[in-house]
C-alpha cells in the first residue's frame, strides 16, 4: 500500500527544516479547512440553490452570488478561529476586517471564489490567497503590503480539488484532495519550477476585448498569437493553473479603446492584492514574471487601497519581458 504525504505533514517538516514558527501552520490549517468547505458547498451548490445571484452588489458594484457570500463567510470564520490573523482583506468585504489585533501575526488577502462567471455552470473557480507577516520588530503600521513582502500565496482550484502553494524563497508545490478529503502531495508530483518547452506555451486572454487593448498590446498579439495555442476559461485561477504546467502568458490588459468609453478600464480589471499578486508571487517562485500596463513588476506595486485594480501580464519570463519592452517603448 502506498501512502502519500499529507499537506500538514509537508508543512510541519518544511517549517521545522527552516526553523520557522508553527503559527504559519495553524494559519494554513484554517485556510485549507475553509477550502474544503467551499469545495463541498460548490459541488452541491446547484442542489442548494446557491449558484444564483444573492440580490445585492459588493463594494465594487459587482453582483454577488449566494455562493460568493457563502465562501466568504466560511473563510472569515476559520481565519477568525485561527487567532493568527491581524487583518483580512476580502474581495467581498468593503474594508479590511481586523480579526486579532494584538495576537495575530499575519495579514491575509483573499478572493474566496474567483471566476464568478463560471459558477452557474459549475466550472472551475478558485479560492486565491496571499499572506504577509506583521511587523514583529516595532509597532504595526497597518499598511497594505507590497507583493514582494508576501511570505506565501496559493490557489485552491474548486471543484477540482487541486491546491497550488508558493512559499517565499522556497518554490511552488501542488497538492491533490484524496478519498478522505485530505490534501496530499503525490510522490510523483510534477515539478512546477522546471523550464517549460516553448512548443507547449499557451496564450490566455479574453479575445473579445482584443480591439480595446492599447496599440503595443495589439501589436504583440498580432506578432505572437499564431505561434501558440490559445486557451481561456474566464477564471484567472483556472487559466493560470494551466500556465504553471505548460508555460505561456495570461493577460488581462487595460481596456482603453472601447467603442463605449464608459466601458474602458484604464487600470485593468483584476484586483492587485488578492488576484494579480497571488498569480505574480506564484509565478516568481516558479521562475516566471508578472507586470502591469507600465511594465512595472506587479510585486513592486505599493498598494493604495484594498480593492485597487491593475492590468496583468503573467507567465513565462521571455514572453513577459517581450511584452514589457513593447509597453515601455511607448
Ligand atoms: P471575479 O473576481 O468577479 O470572478 O472576476 C475576476 C475574473 C478572473 O478570474 C478572470 O480572469 C476575469 O475576471 C475574467 O473576466 P472576463 O469575463 O472579462 O474575461
Ligand atoms: Mg476574483
The domain that contains 241 carries what CATH number? 3.40.190.80
185, 210, 234: which is the final residue of a domain? 185
Same domain (yes/no): 146, 224: no
Ligand closest in space to the Cα of 268: 1
pLDDT the model gives residue 238: 96
Q: Give the residue-averaged pLDDT of 291-295.
A: 98
Q: Cβ distance 89 to 131 under 8 Å?
A: no
Probe residue for ligand 1, chosen from 115, 240, 263, 277 as the CB with the greatest number of ligand atoms within 8 Å: 115
pLDDT the model gives residue 329: 85
Residue partners of 171: CB distance under 8 A and separation at least 6: 192, 193, 285, 286
Which residue has a Cα nearest atom 18 of ligand 1? 206
CATH of the domain at 48: 3.30.540.10
119, 151, 185: which is the final residue of a domain? 185
Q: Residue 236: CB within 6 Å of ligand 1?
A: yes
Domain that holds residue 96: 5-185
Same domain (yes/no): 26, 174: yes
Same domain (yes/no): 270, 146: no
Same domain (yes/no): 153, 113: yes
Q: How many domains is the chain partitioned into structurally?
A: 2
Answer with the residue of higher pLDDT: 191 or 33.
33
**pLDDT at residue 254 above 80?**
yes
Answer with the residue of higher pLDDT: 279 or 186.
279
Q: Residue 116: CB within 6 Å of ligand 1?
A: yes
185, 209, 232: which is the final residue of a domain? 185
Q: Cβ distance 285 to 167 under 8 Å?
A: yes
299-325 confidence digits (pLDDT tens): 999 999 999 999 999 999 999 999 999
Same domain (yes/no): 166, 219: no
Least confident of 74-83, 98-107, 158-167: 98-107
Q: Cβ distance 236 to 250 under 8 Å?
A: yes
For the chain, give the mean pLDDT.
93
pLDDT the model gives residue 330: 66
Q: Give the residue-averaged pLDDT of 203-213.
A: 97
113-135 confidence digits (pLDDT tens): 999 999 999 999 999 999 999 87
CB burial string 233-250: b at 16+ within 10 A, e below: bbbbbbbbbbbbebbbbb
Residue 190 lies in a domain: no
Q: Residue 278: CB within 6 Å of ligand 1?
A: no
Same domain (yes/no): 113, 205: no
pLDDT the model gives residue 271: 97
20-44 confidence digits (pLDDT tens): 889 999 999 999 999 999 999 999 9
Same domain (yes/no): 28, 142: yes
How many angstroms separate the CA atoms of 273 and 277, rounded? 5
Amino acid at each position: 500500500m502506498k501512502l502519500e504525504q499529507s499537506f500538514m505533514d509537508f508543512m510541519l517538516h518544511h517549517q521545522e527544516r527552516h526553523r520557522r514558527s508553527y503559527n504559519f501552520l495553524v494559519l494554513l490549517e484554517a485556510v485549507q479547512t475553509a477550502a474544503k468547505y467551499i469545495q463541498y458547498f460548490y459541488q452541491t451548490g446547484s442542489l442548494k440553490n446557491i449558484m444564483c445571484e444573492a440580490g445585492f452588489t459588493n463594494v465594487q458594484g459587482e453582483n454577488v452570488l449566494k455562493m460568493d457570500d457563502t465562501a466568504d463567510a466560511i473563510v472569515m470564520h476559520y481565519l477568525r478561529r485561527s487567532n493568527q490573523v491581524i487583518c483580512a482583506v476580502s474581495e467581498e468585504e468593503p474594508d479590511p476586517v481586523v480579526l486579532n489585533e494584538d495576537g495575530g501575526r499575519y495579514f491575509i488577502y483573499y478572493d474566496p471564489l474567483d471566476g464568478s462567471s463560471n459558477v452557474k455552470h459549475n466550472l472551475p473557480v478558485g479560492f486565491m490567497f496571499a499572506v504577509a507577516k506583521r511587523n514583529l520588530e516595532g509597532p504595526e503600521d497597518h499598511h497594505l503590503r507590497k507583493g514582494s513582502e508576501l511570505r506565501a500565496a496559493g490557489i485552491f482550484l474548486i471543484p477540482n480539488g487541486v491546491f497550488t502553494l508558493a512559499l517565499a524563497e522556497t518554490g511552488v508545490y501542488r497538492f491533490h484532495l484524496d478519498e478522505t478529503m485530505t490534501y496530499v502531495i503525490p510522490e510523483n508530483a510534477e515539478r512546477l519550477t522546471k523550464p517549460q518547452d516553448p512548443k507547449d506555451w499557451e496564450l490566455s486572454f479574453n479575445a473579445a476585448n482584443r480591439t480595446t487593448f492599447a496599440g503595443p498590446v495589439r501589436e504583440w498579439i498580432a506578432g505572437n498569437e499564431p505561434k501558440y495555442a490559445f486557451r481561456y476559461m474566464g477564471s484567472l485561477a483556472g487559466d493560470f493553473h494551466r500556465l504553471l504546467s505548460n508555460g505561456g502568458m495570461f493577460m488581462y490588459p487595460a481596456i482603453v479603446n472601447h467603442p463605449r468609453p464608459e466601458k474602458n478600464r484604464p487600470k485593468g480589471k483584476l484586483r492587485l492584492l488578492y488576484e494579480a499578486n497571488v498569480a505574480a508571487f506564484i509565478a516568481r517562485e516558479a521562475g516566471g514574471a508578472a507586470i502591469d500596463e507600465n511594465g512595472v513588476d506587479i510585486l513592486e506595486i505599493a498598494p493604495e487601497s484594498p480593492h485597487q485594480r491593475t492590468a496583468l501580464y503573467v507567465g513565462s519570463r521571455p514572453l513577459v519581458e517581450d511584452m514589457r519592452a513593447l509597453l515601455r517603448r511607448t
